[in-house]
């Protein structure tokens, strides 16, 4: 399963601070419908993510019926990203 979308980079202050991009509603619906086949733990979905030329493996966080893409510091640095930037994200679910 693959998804491509754009969204705003935002910061969650913690207790452990992270930066995220939220998957749009239509992508969340598709992930939720298929998640029983590939999610683990408390609904985490393993993916390979790409923003620009930077690719990394991570897991989507489920929250409030949506999925969040955690964006690592090395990705933000490599792509020159800041909070509030609109970014194009490509996800491939790791089955």
Position 95 confidence tier, pLDDT thresholds 50, 70, 90 = low
Rounded alpha-carbon distances, angstroms, from residue 35 to 29, 38, 48, 84 = 10, 5, 15, 29
Position 94 confidence tier, pLDDT thresholds 50, 70, 90 = confident
Measure CA 4 to chain center: 11
Domains and CATH numbers, the chain: 2-93 (2.40.30.100)
Q: Let me know: does 95 contact 37? Beta carbons within 8 Å.
A: yes
pLDDT digits (tens, 9 = 90+) for 14-36: 777 799 999 999 999 988 887 77
Q: For position 3, what pLDDT does the model report?
A: 95
- Say how far apart CA 6 and CA 88 lie, in whole Å: 4
């Amino acid at each position: 399963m693959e998804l491509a979308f754009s969204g705003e980079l935002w910061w969650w202050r913690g207790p452990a601070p992270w930066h995220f991009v939220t998957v749009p509603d239509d992508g969340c619906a598709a992930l939720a419908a298929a998640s029983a086949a590939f999610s683990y733990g408390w609904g985490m979905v393993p993916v390979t993510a790409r923003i620009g030329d930077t690719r990394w493996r991570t897991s989507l966080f489920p929250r409030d019926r949506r999925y969040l893409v955690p964006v690592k510091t090395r990705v933000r640095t490599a792509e020159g990203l800041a909070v509030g930037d609109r970014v194009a994200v490509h996800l491939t679910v790791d089955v």
